[in-house]
Amino acid sequence: MKKLVRERSYNYESLTRHASEHQVPVLRILFGARLKFTLNTPWINALNMHGVIIENAQGFCEIANPIYARILTDYWKPLESDLQASILINSHDLRQHIIGDQLEMDELLSQFRQFVERRGREAFKVTPMPQEATGQYLLMAYLDLLVRQIGGDLFTEIDSGEGRMDLIVVYRGHRYVVETKMWYGQAKFDQGVEQLEGYLETEGASIGYLVVFHARPNVYGKLTWEQLEFVIEREKSNIQVYFVRLGE
């Protein structure tokens, strides 16, 4: 057992050390940036040699496995996210969004989006984190503080290959599936909707939540207020969508 613990400790330290040497691109990969895999690029070659990243089927960089993705996500969680999330939690009465034994998750996510509109984007401008990471870290911190206050649980599932993070809130026997993605165009958005729809079917759920972080309006176009929150109705499920603008 001691040998196993030492080996795990060594692997953890080796992973975080090598990844930290190229933190910004690794974070971008972790949260969905599509970076072309080529061993002629020194940092890609180094990370691949140390087993941090691999080439996926589409020829892009991907974190080597889900365990590594979870370790790196937790390792780099910025204190700024906890600070901003606590400001939001403490400035809003969450009890009004608890109806019986259920959460008004739609209202809680709407409050999150509005908070980022008012304050969050300024915070993102001063953090050293790439924008692919900051929004999802802030939402994770917000939901984590929420469930700790009300006595629920939060589970995280990461798919770095798809740039997707699923946050599952469990409260009094009810499960709320919140999928997060970066905006990389309409095709990737539609793919995210289909992924969430399939996930809801496996969970036996009829309502899901998709939070999309829109970080580069100059590239992808500006969003109007009417495009920020809406519902996609499907045959077996409804998906409530929230676009969170991280850039001007």
Residues 212-241: pLDDT tens digits? 988 776 666 777 777 899 999 988 899 999
Q: Other C-beta atoms within 10 Å of 4: how many? A: 8
Residues 50-84: pLDDT tens digits? 999 999 998 999 999 888 988 888 887 765 566 66
Per-domain boundaries in the chain: 2-65, 77-245
Q: Is the whole model's pTM more than 0.75, yes or no? A: no
Answer positive or negative: Cα dihedral of 38, 220, 123, 141: negative
Quick check: helix, strand or coil at residue 222?
Answer: coil
Query: Of 92 and 57, which is predicted with more confidence?
Result: 57
For residue 246, is pLDDT > 90?
no
- Per-residue pLDDT band for 40 (boundaries 50, 70, 90) equals very high
**Which alpha helices (DSSP H) does the chain contain, by range?**
2-20, 23-30, 42-49, 66-75, 79-90, 105-115, 121-126, 131-150, 186-203, 217-220
Of 157, 163, 130, nearest in space to 62 by CA = 163
